C-alpha cells in the first residue's frame, strides 16, 4: 500500500487542508493519505498551539467516514521537536510493508534544504508537491517529485483562530462538527 503523509499542525484543521488531502487521495497513485498531526514543528512557534491530543481529535472528527483519509498521532510518541526524517524512519520500522511518500505545498518544498537530514528524505521518498500561489518550484533539490494542481482556498489556521477569538463565524471554512467542538470547549478564545 502506498501512503501519502500530509504533515501539519492542523491548528485547527480547516476546509483547505481537507480539500488538499482529498484531492491527493483520489487524484494520485497513493492508496491513502494520513494527516499526521505534528506536536511541534521546529520551524514554527509552539506558543499558539492547541494541545496535540485536541488537534488530533479535531482531525479525526473532520475526516470521519472518509475511507481514504486517516488521522495519525504517530509523532506523539517520538522525541520533540518533530523531525520528518525521524518520523519516516520510525514508520519504516513499524510498517515495513508500506511505501511512504510526503505531501507538501510548494511553499514548504522551498524550505526543504532547511530540514534535518533532508538529503536522506529526497533519496528515499517521493514528494507530492501541490502548487501554492507565489511559490513556484524552480529547484527540485534532486528529489523525485510530482507536481499537483490541487484546488486552493486562501484561508489559514492563523486567520481562523483570530476570527474565533473575535467571535466571528468560521462556518464553511471549518467542518461543522469541528466548529461545534471548538465552541463547546471554548478553544482559541
Tens of pLDDT, residue by residue over 168-179, are 999 999 999 999
Which segment of 2-16, 43-57, 60-74, 81-95 scores lowest on mean pLDDT? Answer: 43-57
Task: Give mean pLDDT, residues 103-108.
Answer: 96
- Per the model's pLDDT, the better-predicted residue between 46 and 165 turns out to be 165
**Rounded distance between C-alpha atoms, residue 42 and residue 114, angstroms:** 11
Q: What is the DSSP letter of 51?
A: P
Per-residue pLDDT tens digits for 111-148: 999 999 999 999 999 999 999 999 999 999 999 999 99
Q: Would you say residue 107 has pLDDT above 80?
A: yes
**Assigned superfamily of 2-152:** HUPs (3.40.50.620)
Distance (Å, rounded) from C-alpha 73 to C-alpha 189?
Answer: 25
User: CA distances (Å), 84 to each of 37, 147, 161, in order?
Assistant: 12, 20, 25
- Specify the pTM: 0.94
Q: What percentage of residues in the chain have a pLDDT greater than 70?
A: 96
Residues 6+ apart with CB under 8 A from 33: 3, 4, 5, 6, 21, 22, 24, 25, 68, 69, 70, 103
pLDDT at 45: 65
Confidence class for position 42, pLDDT limits 50, 70, 90: low
Amino acid at each position: 500500500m502506498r501512503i501519502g503523509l500530509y504533515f501539519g499542525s492542523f491548528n485547527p484543521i480547516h476546509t483547505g487542508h481537507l480539500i488538499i488531502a482529498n484531492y491527493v487521495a483520489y487524484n494520485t497513485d497513493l492508496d491513502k493519505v494520513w494527516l499526521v498531526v505534528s506536536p511541534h514543528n521546529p520551524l514554527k512557534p509552539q506558543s499558539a498551539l492547541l494541545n496535540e491530543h485536541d488537534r488530533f481529535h479535531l482531525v479525526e472528527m473532520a475526516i470521519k467516514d472518509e475511507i481514504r483519509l486517516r488521522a495519525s498521532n504517530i509523532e506523539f510518541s517520538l522525541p520533540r521537536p518533530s523531525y520528518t526524517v525521524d518520523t519516516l524512519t520510525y514508520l519504516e520500522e513499524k510498517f515495513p510493508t508500506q511505501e511512504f511518500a510526503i505531501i507538501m505545498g510548494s511553499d514548504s518544498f522551498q524550505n526543504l534544504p532547511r530540514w534535518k537530514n533532508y538529503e536522506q528524505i529526497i533519496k528515499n521518498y517521493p514528494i507530492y508537491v501541490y502548487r501554492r500561489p507565489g511559490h513556484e518550484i524552480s529547484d527540485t533539490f534532486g528529489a523525485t517529485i510530482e507536481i499537483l494542481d490541487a484546488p486552493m482556498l486562501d484561508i489559514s489556521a492563523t486567520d481562523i483562530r483570530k476570527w474565533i477569538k473575535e467571535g466571528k463565524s468560521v462556518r464553511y471554512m471549518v467542518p461543522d462538527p469541528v466548529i461545534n467542538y471548538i465552541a463547546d470547549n471554548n478553544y482559541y478564545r
